[in-house]
Amino acid sequence: MTANDRWEPVQRLRTYEQVMAQIEQRILDGRLKAGDHLPSERELAVSLGVSRPSLRESLRVLEALGVVEIRRGGEGGAVLVQTPGSGMVNLLKLQIALSQFSWTDVLETRLALETWSVEEAAYRSTEDDHRELAAILDRMDDPSIDAPEFNSLDAAFHMRIAESTGNALTAHFMGSLRTAIHRQMVEMYAELEDWRRTATTVRREHREILDLIVRKDGKTAARAVHAHISDFYKIGAIDGVDAPG
């Protein structure tokens, strides 16, 4: 072996990684914050010493990641995003589709997030939250409702509970996870022999969970949502939890 064999190639960061690192540094040291406009494409390309096409490509990557929003027109340009968008959902959807995470991973993560959310919601939620949660359940009671609509409202109910904890990250993460598995959930409902019978059980369990939240019985509410979610997986999956739900 010659000395040359021990040389490691220099790791070359891609342009977008360098642009991202510089933006991150500026956010950390307070020179940039959410809502700020980045300099114009022309200025930024010169400052960073990159070509305009490769800067544009970097900005598109940052846009897909939900870091910047590219606005067109007069006040156009790249703006640092304040509220979380669909970046995480889109990524998670593909990762789940690629089976990078198993359904058991999804179920266990959901159970952890949902039981925490329901218990905290019992202590932190307001009367407005209760009213809005009840309104979602009222809409789910509509006898003419179809399976996809029922499923969307089901997701909305669980999301709204997470939001009422006041923890935006948990709510966002739960929403992303739920949106990512939405298609599979709808398919699973469609495969149920009698989805309306399942829907009756789901309705009753939701009312019970909401009632426990209103009564501030966090521990019982957490147990109820745990049973609600794991039962649904058991109904939908013949072989344990190895199926969407």
> Minimum distance between the CB of residue 73 and Zn ion, rounded to whole angstroms?
42
Q: CB 72 → Zn ion: shortest distance, Å? A: 40
* Phi, psi angle pair for 37, to nearest 5°: -85, 140
Q: Report DSSP state, residue 50.
A: -
Distance CA 19, CA 49 (A): 11
**Euclidean distance between CA atoms 243 and 22, whole angstroms:** 42
Binding stretches for Zn ion (CB under 5 A):
154
Nearest-approach distance from CB 64 to Zn ion, in angstroms: 31
Separation of alpha carbons 136 and 156, rounded Å: 7
Toward Zn ion, which CB reaches closer, 114 or 120? 114
Decide whether 89 or 155 has the Cβ nearer to Zn ion: 155
CB of 232 to Zn ion, least distance (A): 7
Q: Rounded to whole angstroms, how far apart are CA atoms 161 and 218?
A: 12
Residue nearest Zn ion, CB atom distance: 154
Q: What angle do CA 20, 176, 56 make, to 5 degrees?
A: 30
Q: Which is nearer to Zn ion, 120 or 154 (CB)?
A: 154
Nearer to Zn ion, 172 or 178 (CB): 178
